[in-house]
Amino acid sequence: MLEKAEQESQLSPTATAERSLCNGAVVLFKRKNSQRWQARIRRSSGEWIVYSTKQKDIEQAAAVAEEKYRDIQYAQRTGRIDVTRRFSSVCKLCRKELLEKAQRTQLMLSKNLVQVIDKYIEPILGRYMCHNIDADALRMYSAKRQEMIGHRYDLPEDVVDTRDAAPLVPG
C-alpha cells in the first residue's frame, strides 16, 4: 500500500525516508504544483490516509502532522472516531452511485434522488461532519428544507416528519 502512495506523491524512497516521522507512520510530501506540505498517516489498520498540513514550512508541517497522528492514535485507543468526513463527501459518493445506477437502469427515481441531494441535502447538511449529525441537525434540515420549498404540507405532523426524512434513505 505504501508503494502505491509513494508513486502517487512522486517521492523517491530516499526522499520519503528523510520526511518520515513517528517510526514511519507519518510521511510528509508535497503534491505537484503545491507549496503546502501533505501528511500521509498510517492508521492502526494499516490504511494510509492523506491530510493537508496547510503549512509551507516543513518544521511546522511536521508538528501539525505529528499532532494529527497523536490525535488519530488516541481516538483509536479510546474507541472514538479517528477519521472524520464531511457529509458533503458522502453526498458526492452517493450522487455518483445514483447517477451510475440511473444510466444503467434508465430509471428516473435515481435522477430524482440526485436532485434532492443537490438541492436540499448537501447545501443544508454538507458542512457537517458525519459523526456530528444528530436529531437536532435533522430537525434543522427539515425546517430549512420546508423553508426552501416555500410551503408546509397539509398533512398530519407524523406524516410530514416521515416524508421529510424519506430523501435521506436512498431507494
Give dist(CA 103, CA 156) in Å, integer. Answer: 37
Which ranges of the chain have pLDDT less than 50? Answer: 1-14, 16-17, 162-163, 169-171
Show Cβ contacts of residue 62 under 8 Å, excluding neighbours closer than 6 positions: 21, 28
- Of all residues in the chain, the percent with pLDDT exceeding 70 is 74
pTM listed for this prediction:
0.47
What pLDDT does 10 receive?
Answer: 47
